[in-house]
Amino acid sequence: MIENHLPTAELQRLDAAHHMHPFTHGDALAEKGARIITKADGVFLTDSEGNEILDAMAGLWCVNIGYGRKELAEAAYRQMLQLPYYNTFFQTSHVPAIELAARIAELAPGDLNHVFFAGSGSEANDTNLRMVRQYWAMMGQPDRQVVISRWNGYHGSSVGSGSLGGMKFMHEQGGMPIPGIEHIDQPDWWSEGGDMTPEAFGIARARALEERILEIGADRVAAFIAEPVQGAGGVIVPPETYWPEIKRILAKYDILFVADEVICGFGRTGNWFGSQTYDLVPDIMTIAKGLSSGYAPIGASVVSDKVAGVIGKGEFAHGYTYSGHPVAAAVALENLRILDEEGIVERAGSVTAPYLGAKWNSLTDHPLVGEARICGLMGSIALTPDKARRAPFAADKGTVGLICRERCFANNLVMRHVGDRMIISPPLTISEAEIDLLIERARLSLDEALDIVNRDGLMEAA
Ligand SMILES: *Cc1c(COP(=O)(O)O)cnc(C)c1O
């Protein structure tokens, strides 16, 4: 079972001694020992003990194409032999960056025809923060510097992108948010909608944008950034009234719109981009994750004719050593070819999403599950001790979610928790039989979690 690596306990010891993990309590992990993933194929991971785990998160929302596609490995190999690295600074370019930029422009909606490459989603959003401010400076409106975003939105973990994000627990560490970024409330009806209907709540939360613009002064607002569907915040699918009202407000005050498509892009919502699912017209789209299906690190800002036309009139003093990295670009191109030619995005929207959606929504008959929400192949369920009141648990937020996640892990299912919401985002290539297995393992895990919750007296509402 152990193939060509040290025994698990030894790997765990070395990991604890030398490897600092992202978003992890280091000492707690060291005590427990990390689960070590050794290989993967399709939608299944294999760990160092030989367990086969259904990855209902597609890694970190990124392995849209599924694991084990040799074509992507071969594209990387060929490109490394041909030209492993060259930069795109100083008036040079190379074939993979050119072809990928052109292909992204073809796929992107509207006049999003220009691509500024980055190494990740965080980097791309840092680019966006500077680009929207520089746009207005070059337009002769240098006071337009404020960017509005949303509490519980996620835009990355660098200082700029983490400030754009609305994760308060992140802001508490390391001096975020930086000045010039303001947050408004999110359209999470289940948790924050009170007595309102979802429709009325969607309008109310969109109007919060207009109120904030007027407070700041429209002549000081550069842009609004948001995910079409919040991912890391817990797969918060907004009420249907939300986006049309946001669109109206952005147009009225001539505010740039940055759609953060890092998760929603490349088929996740059932179309190539979440902006198509919600009929949005971004000035800039942030992309990463599904762009390469996670096989190589790459992100980008996809920029409209309007914005690129202005930015191009001067030197934009910004860029990364690995902007448009040839190997990552070649891998992304091959990924896009397969997503398109094998009809993976098309099938995700027309076949897989309806099948998964019906099964997912059926989980609401479970005693622990309040609402189920799903958009394409990203879904969430809210755990609650009292469905009628949409009540949170009396226990600390996330206590029950963590219990449920641990049961999922024990049952060889990767399903994450965000507070007391359970979330999924499987590879787009997941089959109907694999969806059945996902739901079967999710139900089993929910049953086991319910037993523990009852045993420990946690079924108490706040
Ligand atoms: C993951 C994510 C990011 C950050 O991307 P990284 O590649 O981790 O830097 C930005 N925005 C959204 C919506 C994301 O989900």
Percent helix, percent strand, percent coil in the chain, to nearest 5: 45, 15, 40
Sheet holding 413-414: strands in order across? Answer: 37-41, 44-47, 52-55, 413-414
Q: What is the chain's mean pLDDT, rounded?
A: 97
- The pTM score is 0.98
Cross-strand pairs, 146:
221
Q: What is the CATH number of the domain that holds 141?
A: 3.40.640.10
Residue 423 phi, psi (nearest 5): -130, 150
CA distance 413 to 443: 11
Tell me, yes or no, whether 460 lies in a domain.
no
Q: Which atom of ligand 1 is nearest to the CA of 260?
A: 13
Same domain, 113 and 250: yes
Same domain, 383 and 257: no
The answer to whether the beta carbons of residues 154 and 164 sit under 8 Å apart is no
The Cβ-side half-sphere exposure at 166, using a 13 Å CA radius, reads 20
Average pLDDT score over residue span 263-278:
98
150 CB within 6 A, ligand 1: no
The Cβ-side half-sphere exposure at 380, using a 13 Å CA radius, reads 24
Same domain, 218 and 167: yes
Q: What is the CA radius of gyration of the chain?
A: 22
Tell me, yes or no, whether 153 lies in a domain.
yes
pLDDT digits (tens, 9 = 90+) for 107-147: 999 999 999 999 999 999 999 999 999 999 999 999 999 99
pLDDT digits (tens, 9 = 90+) for 42-90: 999 999 999 999 999 999 999 999 999 999 999 999 999 999 999 999 9
Count of helices and strands (H, E) across the chain: 18, 15
Judged against a pLDDT cut of 80, whether residue 2 lies above it is answered with no
Same domain, 252 and 352: no
The answer to whether the beta carbons of residues 230 and 153 sit under 8 Å apart is yes
Same domain, 116 and 249: yes
Tell me, yes or no, whether 2 lies in a domain.
no
Judged against a pLDDT cut of 90, whether residue 5 lies above it is answered with no
pLDDT of residue 4: 74
Tell me, yes or no, whether 147 lies in a domain.
yes
Q: What is the CATH number of the domain that holds 12?
A: 3.90.1150.10
Give the closest residue to 301 by CA, choosing from 130, 162, 60, 184: 130
Tell me, yes or no, whether 283 lies in a domain.
yes
Count structural domains, the chain: 2
Same domain, 13 and 78: no
Look at residues 325, 341, 357 and tell me which one is the last residue of a structural domain.
341
Tell me, yes or no, whether 384 lies in a domain.
yes
Question: 287: domain range?
Answer: 71-341
Look at residues 341, 373, 408 and tell me which one is the last residue of a structural domain.
341
Residue 42 phi, psi (nearest 5): 65, -120
pLDDT digits (tens, 9 = 90+) for 387-436: 999 999 999 999 999 999 999 999 999 999 999 999 999 999 999 999 99
Same domain, 358 and 437: yes
CA distance 198 to 203: 9
Average pLDDT score over residue span 240-255:
98
Same domain, 314 and 359: no
158 CB within 6 A, ligand 1: no
Cross-strand pairs, 300:
117, 287
CA distance 299 to 285: 11
Residue identifier of the C-alpha nearest atom 5 of ligand 1? 121
CA 439 to chain centre: 22
CA distance 191 to 124: 30
CA of 107 to the centre of ligand 1 (A): 20
Q: End-to-end CA distance of the chain: give it in Å, rounded.
A: 46
Angle, CA of 276, 278 and 284, to the nearest 5°: 60
Tell me, yes or no, whether 3 lies in a domain.
no
Q: Which atom of ligand 1 is nearest to the CA of 121?
A: 5
Confidence tier at 3 by pLDDT (50, 70, 90): low
229 CB within 6 A, ligand 1: no
SS3 421: strand
Same domain, 168 and 310: yes
User: Which of 21, 64, 120 gets mutated to test ligand 1 (max ligand atoms within 8 A of its CB)?
Assistant: 120
Residue 267 phi, psi (nearest 5): 100, -10
Same domain, 159 and 259: yes
Q: Which atom of ligand 1 is nearest to the CA of 161?
A: 10
Q: What percentage of the chain carries pLDDT values higher than 70?
A: 99
CA distance 87 to 93: 7
Residues 6+ apart with CB under 8 A from 180: 145, 146, 147
SS3 284: strand
CA of 82 to the centre of ligand 1 (A): 30
155 CB within 6 A, ligand 1: yes
The answer to whether the beta carbons of residues 377 and 425 sit under 8 Å apart is yes
What the block records as the tokens of 350 is 């027309």
User: Which of 261, 262, 298, 375 gets mutated to test ligand 1 (max ligand atoms within 8 A of its CB)?
Assistant: 262
Confidence tier at 250 by pLDDT (50, 70, 90): very high
Same domain, 28 and 171: no
CA distance 199 to 243: 11
Same domain, 229 and 303: yes
227 CB within 6 A, ligand 1: yes
Residue 416 phi, psi (nearest 5): -90, 165
CA distance 413 to 439: 10
Look at residues 318, 341, 364 and tell me which one is the last residue of a structural domain.
341
Q: Is the dihedral of CA 64, 232, 376, 114 positive or negative?
A: negative
Tell me, yes or no, whether 50 lies in a domain.
yes
